Amino acid sequence: MRLGVLISGRGSNMQAIVQACQQGVVPNTTVAAVVANQQAATGVAWAAEQGLPTGVYPNKAYANRAAQEAAIIAFLQQQGVDAVCLAGYMRIVSPQFIAAFAGRVLNIHPSLLPRHGGPGMVGQAVHAAVLVAGDVETGCTIHWVTPTVDAGPIIVQQSVPVHPGDTVDTLAQRVLVEEHIAYPKALAMVAKGVVAPPAVVATL
Ligand code: GRF
């Protein structure tokens, strides 16, 4: 399997995926491309140092999302990518993007979906919602991407306790450790054919 990993920031999940593929934790799989939608994504430099093909496609460099996605899809297809991992990618992908990879698009979300998911529930806002709700546990979810945000079939979940006195930062750190376990675990299931993507919604 040849993976394309999309990031918007430091890319620690991307790094965990690269290392899991190199170590054979995810069998017969390699990261063939790393894409960012902003120049400031520091994970791109790390990927380039690893010798991985990288591409930066800033939101503001394109008239609209469709034009940006067309450029990203072309690059990924040039690299022979057959599955895409969204890893801290801070833009919603279109149904056309999902269809371009036959539904083989995965995402990581830093809560136990369906709790604390949906539009706007990203990054620290998710952990803040967990604290406000008084949840005693949280975690992360790897799921197939469908046109409804954070609602695709769940592949793997890892949970952690919420401790009294936890802050958004202490929670984010505890969850991140599990994220780096969850994504390789989910990708190993995909590589072994244990799970398959949902049927793709026909796009106009
Ligand atoms: C992670 O917390 C992930 O759950 C969320 O965005 C963050 C990405 O972190 N989607 P990194 O760029 O992989 O370090």
Answer whether 123 contacts ligand 1 (Cβ < 6 A). yes
Q: How far apart are CA 100 and CA 169, in angstroms?
A: 36
Pocket flag, ligand 1, residue 184 (CB < 6 Å): no
Q: How far is the CA of 128 from the centre of ligand 1 (A)?
A: 15
- Which residue lies with its CA nearest to atom 9 of ligand 1? 88
Distance CA 97, CA 100 (A): 5
pTM beyond cutoff 0.95: yes
Rounded to whole angstroms, the Cα distance separating 78 from 174 reads: 37
> Is the Cβ atom of 10 under 6 angstroms away from ligand 1?
yes
Nearest CA to ligand 1 atom 6: 88
Task: Return the best residue to mutate from 10, 12, 91 for the ligand 1 pocket (most ligand atoms within 8 A of CB).
Answer: 12
Burial 120-153 (b: 16+ CB within 10 A, else e): ebbeeebbbbbeeeebeebbbbbbbbbbebbebe
Q: Is 103 in the pocket of ligand 1 (CB under 6 A)?
A: no
How high is the pLDDT of residue 61? 97
| Among 44, 179, 180, 183, residue to substitute to test ligand 1 (most atoms within 8 Å of Cβ) | 179
pLDDT at res. 204: 61
* Cβ proximity of 44 and 24 under 8 Å: no
* Domain 2-120+142-159+180-202, CATH: 3.40.50.170
Spans of all domains in the chain? 2-120+142-159+180-202
Helix (H) or strand (E) holding 175: helix 168-191
Residue 180 known to be catalytic: no
> Token pair of 50, please?
């690893």
The rounded distance, in Å, linking the Cα atoms of 202 and 93 is: 15
- Which are the contacts of 49, defined by CB distance < 8 A and separation ≥ 6? none
Distance 13 CA to ligand 1 centre (A): 6
Q: Give the pLDDT of residue 201.
A: 73
Given the CA of residue 109, which atom of ligand 1 is nearest to it? 4
Q: Whose CA is nearest to atom 14 of ligand 1?
A: 12
What are the 10-residue block averages of pLDDT along the chain, 204 residues in total?
A: 97 98 98 96 96 98 98 98 97 97 98 96 96 98 97 98 97 98 98 95 66
CB count, 10 Å around CB of 91? 15
87 CA distance to ligand 1 middle (Å): 6
